[in-house]
Amino acid sequence: MSTMWQGCLAHTDYFEMRSGGGHDYGVWVTTPPHYDPATAKTPVVYVLDGNWAVGMTAPLIVTQLDPMQSIQPYIQVSVGYAGEEAEHWDRLRNRDLVPPGEPVAKEYVDAVELGVERGTTTREQADSQLAELRDSRGDVFLDFLTDELHPRIERDYGTAPSGHGLFGYSYGGLFSLYAWLTRSTFFDSIGAGSPGIVHPDSQVFARLEARGDDLPATKLHVTFNEREILGDMAVYQNLATNTATFLHRLTSRNASVTSALMHETHVTGLQASFLSYLRTCRAQ
């Protein structure tokens, strides 16, 4: 990492990695202050949407030194896209973070079309976003995280064998719920910020019903935002309503889940949600 960026993201390495499926990913690895794997091996927290999220979440590694509420040591691994694909992260995330078979909600399509009308999105960009959604591969990306990327992080950074976490926001939050329901034994805790459950027939509801009362023991922390509920955008209203429904179904089954309401919009809620996850699931 260049000297300039090293000053902004202290203790952060960057590398690029091609998955077995032929996709290129950018990976930022932020280690705790004074980290020495020879002294104490540390678990990993994987953060999704690295191109967007790393600048708002990686600096919070200093919470491990907070004398008023310290956080358990962790290495943050932020995963995004590399090279020319980095500028298309908001499209490619639809491919990687959405469960396979997830229905595309009309309200999401309407929001994309509104972007075209307002000139914030081109017709080509809108069509590409929707195309990725209709052929989503969240299962493949989850395999990449756990079976390809993690062994490299474990080897290069001397990580702990357990205690790992996962945090995702929006469609990353939907991915977090999907991971909780399908691969939860890999993670000790999972944070799902404003999970993109836009359609009432989301795959996470189907998978939850399929599990019955056999729910994961992995800690799950879910947040959503006040302005999503009270605002006038149908796509965010759906997200908040469906997230609340998902939470109600979990609490009625005595699942290991906590939740919090952030006083943010969907766009501004990422950092607050991540901090809420750290304070709730990884407090010292």
Whether residue 127 has pLDDT greater than 90: no
Structure tokens at 58: 């990686």
pLDDT at 213: 87
Q: What is the pLDDT of residue 80?
A: 97
Mean pLDDT of the chain: 92
What domains lie within the chain, and their CATH numbers?
3-281 (3.40.50.1820)
For residue 278, pLDDT over 70 is answered with yes
Q: Is the pLDDT of residue 257 over 90?
A: yes
Which residues, 6+ apart, have CB-to-CB distance to 94 below 8 Å?
129, 132, 133, 136, 171
Nearest to 200 by CA among 165, 167, 238, 154: 238
pLDDT at 85: 87
Provide, rounded to the nearest whole percent, the portion of the chain with pLDDT above 90: 69
Backbone φ and ψ for 103, nearest 5 degrees, come out as -70, 145
What is the arithmetic mean of pLDDT over 165-182? 97
The pLDDT confidence band at residue 38, using thresholds 50, 70 and 90, is confident
Query: If pLDDT is split at 50, 70 and 90, which confidence band does 225 have?
Result: very high
Query: In this structure, what are the phi and psi dihedrals at residue 193, rounded to the nearest 5 degrees?
Result: -90, 125
Token code pair at residue 185 = 């034994």
In which band, very low, low, confident or very high, does the pLDDT at 219 lie, cut at 50, 70 and 90?
very high
Would you give the distance in Å from CA 59 to the centre of its chain? 17
Q: Tell me, what's the pLDDT at 184?
A: 77
Lowest mean pLDDT among 108-117, 206-215, 242-251: 108-117
pLDDT class of 5 with cuts at 50, 70, 90: low
Share of residues in the chain with pLDDT > 70 (%) = 98
d(C-alpha 99, C-alpha 171), whole Å: 9
By the 8 A CB rule, do 98 and 136 touch?
Answer: yes
Give the pLDDT confidence score for residue 52 in this predicted structure: 95
Predicted confidence band of residue 133 (pLDDT cuts 50, 70, 90): confident
Q: In terms of Cα–Cα distance, which of 25, 284, 270, 257 is closest to 167?
A: 270
Q: 77 or 126: whose pLDDT is higher?
A: 77
Three-class SS of the chain: CCHHHHHHCCCEEEEEEECCCCCEEEEEEECCCCCCCCCCCCCEEEECCHHHHHHHHHHHHHHHHCCCCCECCCEEEEEEECHHHHHHHHHHHHHHHCCCCCCCCHHHHHHHHHHHHHCCCCHHHHHHHHHHHCCCCHHHHHHHHHHHHHHHHHHHHCCCCCCCEEEEECHHHHHHHHHHHHCHHHCCEEEEECCCCCCCCCHHHHHHHHHCCCCCCCEEEEEEEHHHHHCCCHHHHHHHHHHHHHHHHHHCCCCCEEEEEECCCCCCHHHHHHHHHHHHHCEC
pTM (2 decimals)? Answer: 0.94
Closest alpha carbon to 192 in 259, 267, 140: 259
Q: Is the pLDDT of residue 24 over 70?
A: yes
Supply the pLDDT for residue 109. 85
In this prediction, residues 13-22 reach a mean pLDDT of: 94
Query: String of b and e for 137-152 (b: at least 16 CB within 10 Å)?
Result: bbeebbbbbbeebbee
> What pLDDT does 120 receive?
85
Rama region for 19: left / alpha / beta (φ>0; ψ in -120 to 50; rest): beta
